[in-house]
Structure 1
Amino acid sequence: MDLIIRNANLPDGRSGIDIGIKNGKIVVLESSLSAKATEEIDASGKLVSPPFVDAHFHMDATLSLGLPRLNQSGTLLEGIALWGELKPHLTVE
C-alpha cells in the first residue's frame, strides 16, 4: 500500500475503518487492516469522505449547454460531433 488512512468514520455510518490506497486508488476498506503502507494517517475517528465539491467542469460548456442540441447518448463520440456542429457558429467574443 502507498497510503493507509486509519480509524476513519465513513459517510455510510461505518466507523473505525482503515482505507488502503495503492496507485491513487482505494483498494481496501477494512477494520484493523494488518497491512503497512509507505505513509499512514490516523484519522482519529474523523469523517473521511469524497470531496463535497467537484471542481472538474468544462467552463466552455457553461455558455453552450444545449447548443446545438444536448448529447443524448452521453458518449464522447456524440460530444465531438456536437462540437463539430457548434464550431461554425462560435465567435471570438
Structure 2
Amino acid sequence: MFQRIINVYNLLEEDAKKAMTRTIDALTQAGIDYHLKVAIGDPSTEVVEIAKKEQADLIILGTRGLGAIKGVLMGSVSQKIIQAASCPVMIVK
C-alpha cells in the first residue's frame, strides 16, 4: 500500500503565504524586509515567544474584531499578546 508522508509545517507555511499575499506584496513593493514565521500552537503564546526570540522592537497585529462581549468571554488573541509581550504592540484594524 502506498503511504503518503505529509509535512504539516510546509502545508501551514503555504496557507500562511496565501493568506498574506496582499501584505507580502505591499511589503515587497515598499522595499521592506520581512520574515514569515509559521508556528503550531496557541497563537498568543507563539507570537510572544517568536517576538522574544527575534528580539522584536514592535509587534503589529491585525484584528478580526469579535466585539466587546465576545472578546471578553472568549479572550482575544491580541489582548493576550498585549499583556504578555515584552515590547510594544500595535493593533491595526
**TM-score using structure 1 length:** 0.23
**TM-score using structure 2 length:** 0.23
Higher helix share: 2
Higher strand share: 1
**Greater relative contact order, per chain length (Cα 8 Å cut-off, separation 6+):** 2
